[in-house]
Amino acid sequence: MRQAEFDSANPLRSPLDRRLPRVAGPCALVIFGVTGDLSRKKLMPAVYDLANRGLLPPSFALVGFARRDYSGEDFAQEVHDSVREYSRTEFREDVWAQLAQGFRFVAGDFSDDTAFDALAATVTALANEQGTGGNTAFYLSIPPGMFPLVVQQLKRSGLASDDRGGWRRVVVEKPFGHDLTSAQELNQVLDEVFPSGSIFRIDHYLGKETVQNLLALRFANTLYEPIWNSNYIDHVQITMAEDIGIGSRAGYYDGIGAARDVIQNHLLQLMALTAMEEPVSFAAEHVRLEKEKVLASVVLPEDLDAHTARGQYGPGWQGGEEVIGYMQEANIPPTSTTETYAAITLHVDTRRWAGVPFYLRTGKRLGRRVSEIAVVFKRAPHLPFATTDTEELGSNTLVIRVQPDEGITMKFGSKVPGTQMEVRDVTMDFAYGDSFTESSPEAYERLILDVLLGDPPLFPRHEEVEMSWQILDPILQNWAANGKPEEYDPGTWGPASSDEMLARDGRVWRRP
Amino acid sequence: MTTRLENTTAGEIVRTINAERHRIGATATGMVLTLIIVTDEENQSDATRAASYSAMEHPCRIITLIPRPGRVEPQLDANIDVGDTMGPGETVRLRLRGALADHAASVALPLLLPDTPVVVWWPTRAPEVPAEDPVGSLAQRRITDVAAEHHPLHSLLTRQTGYVAGDTDLAWTRTTVWRSMLAAALDLPFARITGVDVRCERSNPSGVLLQAWLHNCLKVPVQLHRSQGPGITDVTIHTADGPIELSRPDGRTARLSRPNVNAHDVPLPRRDLRDLIGEELRRLDPDDTYAEALAAVEVPKPARRKRAARKPATESQGDSDA
């Protein structure tokens, strides 16, 4: 909305002129924790890629804040190196040189008042030197435990107030708390200083091209809407699998586990997008409203033990390599009951979805790295063939492959060539990966640009976060009261209990 | 791998493409458009390469038509590339010999992909009214390039009179980076605009289009001046507070300066053919902004001034009288 007003003031911009890219307005991006992994591997390269694609304004500035004692040049060099290594687009020195003009670095501790005063001075100076107009986005690439401190510092130093003109936005990454109470506390911390419209919760999954294409698939076509309901859909499986273990992330992962790490944010968001009604428009508020309605109508199964499953990867061989189990990973306490695999059953209590279970699963050390939404249709009510003809016929399935190999697969029955009537499953494929990878931007590029444009349709609001915790909390409590998760072999598709969970409903997991 | 077919027909070409696809196990799904290139021997290689590069972004079937008129028996020769070397798309290069050169559309028609958009591109000389050309009429979108013709400004006027919705020209595509940067410059608050100066190389159609576009948007006099190039070199927007200037003397990096703010260098490289074609294929609907800019173009009759080049010549646009 803001963007529209902004545009109309500029005589050179017109909605008819669609060649001109949506370039962010003048602004500064302040990154806290700028020396961290995420910042080096994802954020900085994404900023560079945006600049390379001409989507950042000439007056863009980037301010790094971290504890390390860098000079401005050291900082530029450090960013230069990581951008060279990780950027998606070709590295061009002239683009880099232009971008680096707007780089600043402020060293300091989060509890250090003078450092924040120096930061405030830097940001103010940039308004004139670079022409940022005072517009500032704060990216908190730091552990959530630090949020209260940093946010209070932003308030104290006057950085958070927009009295001196321009907008202020704050960007936070998951995890958004570890249960409902902590999520609410976190939100309070942010809410005290920033208005809710200025808080951007980044879920990099939602920046994926395929996730956005899900909306196009559902609402730009006539083909799917008539069958997108319980009359035709048998159930939905949403999977996010990783083939790696936790690596060195024990400190973060232990005590959190697969459900909190992935289901609460990614999978429930994907489910909401799959199940939601058509929004009035694609304006942020309308899309959120529909997502919230889905989350509000979720009901849990009565018997949580029978309809959820969890596991922990054990030691073994995976893809020709011997790997250690979760309990053998560094810094995992022997008493740990953290799950590395979680599967849950949810129902959406609406007319559209009555009786259609949504199965959500995620895990580490599974068969391969894959994320997908599989919509499994009911079998035809009557088959005018002999049963032997259709023995090999499965259910029609529409699979939205989120990553890797983004695209859409449709599985349906087809006659096998020959004199006999024999029907077998075949697939029809649309692959983004084959053809559009060249220009398909990284999720972070899209999300950072959306933050700078102030266009948040893909960002979950705190209501959604809290609703997700409301869904997950009873399951987590049930698990906590029931001892250790079941061990599963690495490189498989999870513990036996998750297969039993589907078998109870007469269904099977799709092998992704 | 290139398959060569001599003295062939469109039907056989289609069969060959399908057989080749079948052999390498690829399917023709996912191709989003057919691109027909009408060109000569000299330019076919560059044009086809640029187009197949953009096929990475827009998987397509590329049909390059190379008319070879002359007093020989009509004959159709084809070079077919499927898969690997030419990216995900497929390329068919056709030489139309003898009288067949005048019937290119009859060859192209059976080769169009079913139910997907068709784009025609003339990398050099284009027909006077592209939409009424037999090949041009097959397409939704027709790309020309007046800068590659003998008299670019004269050709620009031909484009103007022959314009039909769906036409577009690479001279316009070349202005996109300038237009984008100028629009970004006006995203910051600015004072009342009193006039604009555009400097570009002699007979630069992009400069003329940029001038027309600025005049349409800003409704102030826009003067066009000659410079040494390359291409467009300067745009100065005069405001009540002073000039906002974007200047690119070297064809690579531009300097953006404005009142009360430090000047910035911004990369503004001249773009190559594959970038331009890639941008053109991104949108297949009529470009209304181009239509308006083209309609507003006023090219003065080539005044044959004798040795008057001491003072930089000024071509005016709009209500000023220069």
B265 to A133: CB separation less than 8 angstroms, yes or no? no
Query: If you average pLDDT over residues B254-259, what whole number do you get?
Result: 88
Give the pair of three-digit tokens for residue A207: 């920046």
Please tell me which of the candidates A19, A58, A133 has its beta carbon nearest to residue B184. Answer: A58
Beta-carbon contacts of residue A494 (< 8 Å; ≥ 6 apart):
A309, A311, A341, A343, A361, A363, A366, A488
Beta-carbon contacts of residue B209 (< 8 Å; ≥ 6 apart):
B156, B169, B171, B172, B175, B290, B293, B294, B297
**Alpha carbon distance B314, B305 (integer Å):** 13
Helix A44-52 × helix A443-453 angle, to 10°: 80
A276-306 pLDDT, tens digit per residue, is 999 998 887 888 899 999 999 999 999 999 9
Query: If you average pLDDT over residues A165-169, what whole number do you get?
Result: 85
B218 to A16: CB separation less than 8 angstroms, yes or no? no
Q: In terms of CA atoms, which chain B residue is nearest residue A5?
A: B187
Centroid of chain to Cα B83: 26
Please tell me which of the candidates A6, A59, A430 has its beta carbon nearest to residue B264. Answer: A59
Least confident span in A2-11, A253-262, B119-128, B176-185: A2-11
Query: CA dihedral defined by A395, A400, A401, A407, rounded to 10 degrees?
Result: 110
Q: How far A88 CA lies from chain B's nearest CA (Å)?
A: 15
Q: How much is the pTM?
A: 0.80
**Which tops the pLDDT comparison, B263 or B164?**
B164
pLDDT over 70 at A499, yes or no: yes
DSSP state of B170: H
The 3-class secondary structure across A303-319, one letter per residue, is CHHHHEEEEEECCEEEC
Query: If you average pLDDT over residues A35-42, what whole number do you get?
Result: 85
**Alpha carbon distance A305, A99 (integer Å):** 54
Phi, psi of B204 (to 5 degrees): -95, 110
Domains and CATH numbers, chain A: 2-173 (3.40.50.720), 207-504 (3.30.360.10)
B287 to A26: CB separation less than 8 angstroms, yes or no? no
Mean pLDDT of chain A: 86
Within an 8 Å CB–CB cutoff, is residue B59 touching chain A?
Answer: yes
Please tell me the predicted confidence (pLDDT) of residue A433: 54
Find out whether A412 and A424 touch, Cβ atoms under 8 Å: no
B256 to A431: CB separation less than 8 angstroms, yes or no? no
**Alpha carbon distance A283, A294 (integer Å):** 18
Q: Which residues of A are catalytic?
A: 266
A10 to B88: CB separation less than 8 angstroms, yes or no? no
Least confident span in A131-135, A432-436, B88-92, B285-289: A432-436
DSSP state of A492: B
Least confident span in A155-169, A333-347, A469-483: A155-169
DSSP state of B49: H
A183-194 pLDDT, tens digit per residue, is 998 888 888 888
Question: Cis bond leading into A175, ω under 30°?
Answer: yes
ipTM of the complex: 0.79
**Alpha carbon distance B288, A319 (integer Å):** 56
Query: If you average pLDDT over residues A197-225, what whole number do you get?
Result: 83
**Alpha carbon distance A450, A112 (integer Å):** 31
pLDDT over 60 at B28, yes or no: no
Beta-carbon contacts of residue A234 (< 8 Å; ≥ 6 apart):
A356, A376, A377, A378, A379, A395, A507
Least confident span in A204-208, A392-396, B99-103: A204-208
The b-or-e profile of A281-301 (16+ CB within 10 A means b, else e) is eeebeebbbbbbebbeebebb
B57 to A133: CB separation less than 8 angstroms, yes or no? no
Query: If you average pLDDT over residues B201-210, what whole number do you get?
Result: 94
Confidence category of residue A362, pLDDT binned at 50, 70, 90: very high
**Alpha carbon distance B116, B108 (integer Å):** 14
Query: If you average pLDDT over residues A38-43, what whole number do you get?
Result: 87
Q: Are strands A168-173 and A136-140 parallel, antiparallel or unpaired?
A: parallel
**Alpha carbon distance A487, A494 (integer Å):** 9
A422-444 pLDDT, tens digit per residue, is 888 888 887 765 555 455 677 78
Mutate which of A3, A7, A17 to disrupt the B interface (most B C-beta within 10 Å)? A17
Chain B environment of A441 (Cβ under 8 Å): none
B176 to A20: CB separation less than 8 angstroms, yes or no? yes
A94 to B56: CB separation less than 8 angstroms, yes or no? no
Give the pair of three-digit tokens for residue B22: 């079948």
Q: How far A271 CA lies from chain B's nearest CA (Å)?
A: 27
Computed on alpha carbons and rounded to an integer, the radius of gyration of chain A in Å comes to 24
B125-150 pLDDT, tens digit per residue, is 999 999 999 999 999 999 999 999 99
Please tell me which of the candidates A11, A23, A130 has its beta carbon nearest to residue B217. Answer: A11
Percent of all residues in chain A with a pLDDT value above 90, rounded to a whole number = 38
Chain B environment of A99 (Cβ under 8 Å): none
CA dihedral (A216, A220, A223, A226) positive or negative: positive
A133 to B217: CB separation less than 8 angstroms, yes or no? no
What is the per-residue DSSP string for A126-183? Answer: HHHHT--TT-EEEEE-S-GGGHHHHHHHHHHTTTT--TTSS-EEEEEES---SSHHHH
**Which single residue is written with the structure tokens 């976060």?**
A465
What is the per-residue DSSP string for A356-371? Answer: -EEEEEEESSBSS-EE
**Alpha carbon distance A102, A39 (integer Å):** 17
**Alpha carbon distance A181, A201 (integer Å):** 17
Least confident span in A15-24, A353-362, A434-443: A434-443
Please tell me which of the candidates B30, B186, B289 has its beta carbon nearest to residue A10. Answer: B186
A431 to B183: CB separation less than 8 angstroms, yes or no? no
**Alpha carbon distance A192, A172 (integer Å):** 15
Mutate which of A429, A435, A453 to disrupt the B interface (most B C-beta within 10 Å)? A435
B185 to A58: CB separation less than 8 angstroms, yes or no? yes
Please tell me the predicted confidence (pLDDT) of residue B86: 52
Query: If you average pLDDT over residues B51-67, what whole number do you get?
Result: 85
Q: How far B170 CA lies from chain A's nearest CA (Å)?
A: 13
Interface of A with B (CB under 8 A): 6, 10-14, 16-21, 23, 25-26, 54, 57-59, 92, 94-95, 97-98, 101, 128-131, 133, 428-431, 434-436, 438-439
Please tell me which of the candidates A19, A26, A98 has its beta carbon nearest to residue B176. Answer: A19
Please tell me the predicted confidence (pLDDT) of residue A74: 82
Query: Could you tell me what percentage of chain A is helix, strand and coil, using 3-state DSSP and rounding each to the nearest 5?
Result: 40, 20, 40
Centroid of chain to Cα B247: 23
Q: Are strands B261-267 and B253-258 parallel, antiparallel or unpaired?
A: antiparallel
Phi, psi of B255 (to 5 degrees): -115, 125
Please tell me the predicted confidence (pLDDT) of residue B322: 35
Please tell me the predicted confidence (pLDDT) of residue B287: 92
B186 to A12: CB separation less than 8 angstroms, yes or no? yes
Q: How far B263 CA lies from chain A's nearest CA (Å)?
A: 8
A76-109 pLDDT, tens digit per residue, is 888 888 888 888 888 888 888 888 888 889 988 8
Please tell me the predicted confidence (pLDDT) of residue B81: 86
Beta-carbon contacts of residue A383 (< 8 Å; ≥ 6 apart):
A390, A393
Angle at A44 between CA A43 and CA A50, to 5 degrees: 90
Chain A environment of B272 (Cβ under 8 Å): none
Within an 8 Å CB–CB cutoff, is residue B256 touching chain A?
Answer: yes
Q: How many CB pairs under 8 A join A and B?
A: 109
Within an 8 Å CB–CB cutoff, is residue B183 touching chain A?
Answer: yes
**Alpha carbon distance B255, B15 (integer Å):** 55
B285-322 pLDDT, tens digit per residue, is 899 999 999 999 987 655 454 444 444 445 444 443 33
Please tell me which of the candidates A13, A21, A101 has its beta carbon nearest to residue B264. Answer: A101
**B298: closest CA among B318, B284, B279?**
B318
Confidence category of residue B2, pLDDT binned at 50, 70, 90: confident
DSSP H or E segment with residue A274: helix A268-275
Q: How far A205 CA lies from chain B's nearest CA (Å)?
A: 23
Residue B315 β-bridge partners: B224
At B35, the amino acid letter reads L
Find out whether A326 and A314 touch, Cβ atoms under 8 Å: yes
**A53: closest CA among B271, B203, B147?**
B271
Find out whether B159 and B136 touch, Cβ atoms under 8 Å: no
A218-237 pLDDT, tens digit per residue, is 999 999 999 999 999 999 99
Please tell me the predicted confidence (pLDDT) of residue A437: 45
Please tell me the predicted confidence (pLDDT) of residue A415: 84
Q: Where are the alpha helices (DSSP H) in chain B?
A: 10-23, 41-54, 104-108, 152-161, 170-173, 176-185, 205-218, 273-282, 288-295
